[in-house]
Structure 1
C-alpha cells in the first residue's frame, strides 16, 4: 500500500535528495505527473522506480527499475503504459510472463534453426536403433562411423590418405538446410565417386531423417520426403534381388576349395553355414557354451527371436570338435567357437577366405548369404519338409507360406541329418538316394 506522504513532481534533484527516514525499511515519493509512479528508497540508499495500482480490488506493485537504469521520463512513460493495461482489466505481470515465454520460445526456435546435422547425427548414433532391435549391429555402426569419418588419415592398406566419408559433407550443414535440392546435389556429387557407396549413404541418411521426424525437437526441421526427389530416385542403381546359390554340381568343387583353406576356423565356419542355413552373424557369434555335444544340440542367437535350438548333426559335430580352443589376449580360453584375433574375439569378416575358395573352385558371385539359400534348396532336394527347413533357418511360422507348426529338436533331427548327408554326398561326388 502507498505510504502517507505528499505527492510532488519528481525531479532529478528531489530524487537525489530523498532519503529513507531512520527506523523505516523503505520510503516512497509519489509523482504528480504520473500518479501511479513512485520513487522507492531503502536505508542503504538504493533508489528504484515502482508502479502501484489496484486491479479487481487487489493492490499490486511492480518494480520498473533503478534510477540509474531508468531516466525519469522513461519511468513515467512505463508507468503510464502499465496503468493503461490495468484500466483495461489486464494484469501487467501476466503479460510480462507471456512475453518471457514468447522470448524463450523464439530463442529455442532460433537455437533449433542453428542445430547442425553433426550434433543430431551423434545423438542418432547414440540413441537411435533399427526396427525391432535393441541396438545397432556392430558392423552397421562401424559403417555409420566410416560414412561420417573426416578423412585425411593414412590408409591402412596402400599409400596416401583416406577420403572423407560419403555423409561427411552434410554434417556441417544446419538440419533445417537439408532440402531436396541440397540433398540431390550431394547425392549426385557422391555418386561420381562411387554410386554404390553413395546409395548406401543415402539409405543411412534416410533412416536418420526418419528418426529425426519423430523427435519433438527435430521434427519441425526435417522432412523425410527430401530424400525421395525425382533426381535422386532416377539416379539410384537398379536393385536386383539376389538369387545366388550353389548348384548341385558346384558343391563338390566349393567344398574341396573351402576344406583346403589355410585358415581352419574360416574353413569350418563356411561349411557350418552351408550345413545349417544360419545367418552369418548368428554363426559367427556361436559360443562353446551353446554347443551341446552330449545331447547333440546347438542353440544360436536368432535374428527375429531370442534363440533357436536345432540338432547337431554328426559331421558338423566332428567338425566343431576338431577346432582349436583359442585363447584371448588375457590368456583365457575364448568363449567363441569361431574365435579370432579381432576386437570382438570372433570371426569378423570371412569374405576374403570365401572369395579365395570361390576363385579356386571357379565359382562366381556366391555370397555368404547365398550359402543360406543353398541350404534351403539342397534341403528341398534332399526331401526335407519345407517347415523343418524353415524352422532350422530361423524363419517364423507366420513368415512362411505353409505356416508350419514348430517341431521338437528330436523331430527335426532326421530331417537335418538327411540334408547333411545329401550335401556330403554331393561334396564327395557320390550318389544320394533319399
Structure 2
C-alpha cells in the first residue's frame, strides 16, 4: 500500500467515492497510521500485526484528533505490539479500571451524601403493601418532622422520636449516636423512645440485607449492649392507667376531638371498663335507652352480658349519627364500624400533656377508679365481664341490672365531677356544660 505524508490539506480533501463504502490513506511518518473515509465521516486508525494476525484499531475522528496526536498514538500502539501486548486488551483493561474507579467514586459519594431519611422513605414504600394501616401510620407518626399547627388545640406538632436520626447521613449512625439518642428521648417520652428504637432496629436490619445499603451502615450498632441498656422497658401494667388528677385534662382533650364517634367511644371505654373490641362491636339493636342498658359480647361468657348504660354516656351515644347497624360507625371502614381509634387517643394524650395510656389502659382505669366510690369488687367484675371467683362471687349471676346501675351511676357521676363536667339527666337533650 502506498504511503504519503499526512498534511492538513490532504486530510481535508480526502474523501470516499460514491461507488465505495470506505477508502484508506496511509501515513509515511508513523508506521501503521491510516486515515479511513466513509460517506460523511473520516477517522484515524492504526493497523498492525500481532502473532501474524492483522489488528485494526480506531484512534478517533479527525475533528478531535490532530495529525501529531494521531501519529503519537500510532507509535504507542506499535510499541505495545512490539512488546507482545494486544492493544485491544490493554484498552479494555484501561476502560475496566476507569469504570472501577468511577464506581468506587460513586459509592463513596453515596456514602458521603445519602441520608437516613432517604433510605427510610424507601423502607416505608417497600413495606407499605405488606404492613397494616395502623403499623404503617405508627412509622409515619414517629418519624414526622413536626412544626405544623395542631389539628386540635393550639401550638405546633412536635417532631417524632425518630426524626433526629433521619436527618443524619447513614455513615454517621453508630452505637454511640444511638445510645445518646435513646438517653435524650427517654427523658421526656420513654414509651415513644422504646417504640422508636424497635422500629429503627428493624429498619437497620433491613438495610444490612439490602445490596444498595449494606455497605453504608454499621450493622451492629443496633445490637450493641450499651445502646440496648438505654432503651426504656415496656411500661408496666400498673402504670398504664389514668389517675384521678388526669381526668379533667383527659376529658377536655378527648371531648375536643373532631370525630364525635371516636370521642364517645373513648369515653365509653373509661366509663364502662369494656374491652375495646366489645364496645366497637356494639350495635344499635344492643341498646335499650328506656331501660338504660346495653348488651355486650363477652369473651368469657358466650351469651354476652348486659350492663348499665349510665346517663351521661347514654346522652353521648344518643347524639351519634345512625349510618348503619353499628353504634360506633365509620363511613371509611370496610365493615362500617370504627377500626382504629388509638391514633386519635394518642393525639388527645399529647394535647393533654399526659403519658401514653393504651386503650386497654382505659379499662384498667375503670377498675382502679371504681374504688373511689367504694364500688364492690363483684359489681366491678360483673360490669367489666371478668370471670367470677367461685368463693367471693357466688352471687355473680343473680345481681339485677338495677343494682349494677346504682353503683355504675355513682361511678359516672364521680368521674364527671373530677373532670369538671356538669351533667343532669334532664339535660340530655340540652347539651353538656363544663364547670369552670
Q: Tell me, what secondary structure is at the counterpart of 2:24?
A: strand
Distance 1:85 1:270 in 2: 92
1:27 correspondence with 2:23: yes
Contact 2:270 2:365 (C-alpha < 8 Å) held by counterparts: no
Deviation of the 1:67 alpha carbon? 2.2
1: distance between equivalents of 2:212 and 2:107? 9
Structure-2 change in CA distance of 1:150 and 1:325 (3 Å): same
Of residues 227, 231, 237, the one that matches 2:232 is: 237
Contact 2:270 2:363 in 1 (8 A): no
The CA deviation at 1:191 is 4.1
C-alpha distance in structure 2 between counterparts of 1:173 and 1:423, whole Å: 61
The aligned counterpart of 2:126 is: 127
Aligned-residue offset at 1:197: 2.6
Residues 138 and 341 of structure 1: is their aligned pair in 2 closer, same or farther, counting only changes over 3 Å? same
Q: How does 1:9-408 map to 2 (within 5 A)?
A: 9-44=5-40, 46-54=41-49, 59-83=54-78, 87-89=84-86, 91-92=88-89, 94-95=92-93, 98-99=96-97, 101-102=99-100, 105-106=103-104, 108-110=106-108, 112-113=110-111, 114-128=113-127, 135-229=130-224, 232-239=227-234, 242=237, 263=264, 267=268, 312-315=302-305, 333=324, 338-340=328-330, 345-347=337-339, 348-349=341-342, 351=359, 354=363, 357=366, 360-362=369-371
Aligned length: 335
**Are residues 176 and 128 of structure 1, via their aligned partners in 2, closer, same or farther at CA, if it must alter by over 3 Å?**
farther
The structure-2 alpha-carbon separation of the partners of 1:40 and 1:341, relative to structure 1 and needing over 3 Å to count, comes to same
Q: Distance in 2 between matches of 1:26 and 1:57?
A: 24
Which segment is superposed worse, 76-85 or 195-204? 76-85
CA contact (8 A) 1:147 1:168 kept: yes
Post-superposition offset of 1:337: 7.4
Distance 1:57 1:327 in 2: 96
Superposition deviation, residue 126 in structure 1: 1.8
Q: CA deviation at 1:30?
A: 2.2
Separation in 1, partners of 2:400, 2:48: 100
Output the CA distance in 2 between the equivalents of 1:96 and 1:287.
Answer: 75
Kindly indicate whether the alpha-carbon contact (under 8 Å) linking 1:269 and 1:283 is maintained by their aligned counterparts in 2.
no
Q: How big is the shift at 1:69? A: 1.9
CA contact (8 A) 1:284 1:346 kept: no
1:264 deviation in Å?
6.9
1:260-297 superposed Cα distances (whole Å, 9 cap, x missing partner): xx9479748997965xxxxx5x7688699xxxxxxxxx
SS in 1 for 2:157: coil
Unmatched segments (≥5 aa) in structure 2? 242-262, 284-296, 346-358, 373-379, 405-436
Question: Once the two structures are superposed, what CA deviation does each residue of 1:79-137 show, in whole Å capped at 9, x if it has no partner?
Answer: 444445553246436436634652563365245323321221112112237xxxx7323
How far did 1:169 drift? 2.4
Give the root-mean-square deviation of aligned CA atoms: 5.1
Quote the residue 2:246 is aligned against. none
